[in-house]
Amino acid sequence: MKLISSMLIMIGFIANTAQANPYGMVYTKQELAKMQKRPSSNDLDAILSNSRLDYHGGMVISNILAYSVMWGEGVDSRVQSGVGSLLTAMLNSTLFDMLSQYSTVGAKVVGGHASSQQVIGRGSYGGNVVIHPSNAASTVTDSQVGAEIEYQIRLGVLPAPNENTVYSMFFPPGISISLGSALSCQVFCGYHHKYNSSQYGEIHYTVLPNFDGLCAAGCGSATDSFATLSIVLSHEITEVVTDPSASGGSGPAFPDAWNTSGGQEIGDLCAQRYTSLKTSNFTYEIQEQFDNRTNSCDETIYTSP
């Protein structure tokens, strides 16, 4: 069950107010690859060798502070008990040492904007929060997800964000998320986005549906749902750090940060390829990420204390 790189599939949809394609922000399902020929390994290597992430002047996230947020108490128990350790390991790992190349200090800016002059370093895990969402619908839109996060912040259930905060949202079985006309598990496996709050500014978040049932097919290479989650989560975390204010469109410009001229982000270029993140007592399966220094997917086995 491999994920196909979302750069290879062109289906339009609306994400909040921005016209977007399912590359940049969104991790698409493998089944959509049936609509066109999957490239061979050699073909994909050629595509990668001619790819590059450009910097468009937008902000990055310097030292991510990620919270895992459960959409109600029905989220899979393994996710609730295990995602904290996964995020702790991921954010304080050599993966983020690799991401430091996407710091913006001294970076050449495409489009004439000034650099944000930021350094990307390792991040930290802020903790797990179970919310009792005010929205009880079985299908929630992306804008409703953002509004719910803002509401929970106002209640004091979620901590208020700063420039490094990302809320990683996890959903229970039976809840679908819609991004325009695209539905979770039917079209996509996850995404990252922002919600513009008049009180808190940009609220950054990732969205991951339940990876059993309909999402079990086409959302990862792994044999169990938690490993699939770790693959998709690594894709979205690296993208929200390097391109947090992404428009999701095929013509990137400020306030986008790092993506290709066609709108692909760091994870999109390597979405068929997997590596490992090793801690002292556990090994997670995660996605390879694009390395601008070599114009290839980084095959490093990452480590965390």
User: How confident is residue 200, by pLDDT bands cut at 50, 70 and 90?
Assistant: very high
Whether 225 is covered by a domain: the verdict is: yes
Spatial CB neighbours of 65, under 8 Å, sequence gap ≥ 6:
123, 124, 125, 126, 162, 164, 165, 166
- In whole angstroms, give the CA distance from residue 293 to residue 174: 42
Q: Which domain holds residue 278?
A: 6-303
What is the CB neighbour count within 10 angstroms for residue 54?
17
Among the listed residues 288, 297, 272, the one whose alpha carbon sits nearest the alpha carbon of residue 33: 272
Whether 78 is covered by a domain: the verdict is: yes
Q: What is the model's pTM?
A: 0.89
Domain count, the chain: 1
pLDDT on residue 31: 42
Whether 89 is covered by a domain: the verdict is: yes
pLDDT digits (tens, 9 = 90+) for 100-158: 999 999 999 999 999 999 999 999 999 999 999 999 999 999 999 999 999 999 999 99
pLDDT on residue 221: 60
- In whole angstroms, give the CA distance from residue 265 to residue 240: 9
Whether 1 is covered by a domain: the verdict is: no
The position carrying tokens 């990137």 is: 252
Amino acid at site 146: G
Spatial CB neighbours of 158, under 8 Å, sequence gap ≥ 6:
67, 69, 129, 131, 149, 152, 167
Whether 12 is covered by a domain: the verdict is: yes
pLDDT digits (tens, 9 = 90+) for 15-66: 332 323 334 678 876 544 333 344 555 566 767 877 899 999 999 999 999 9
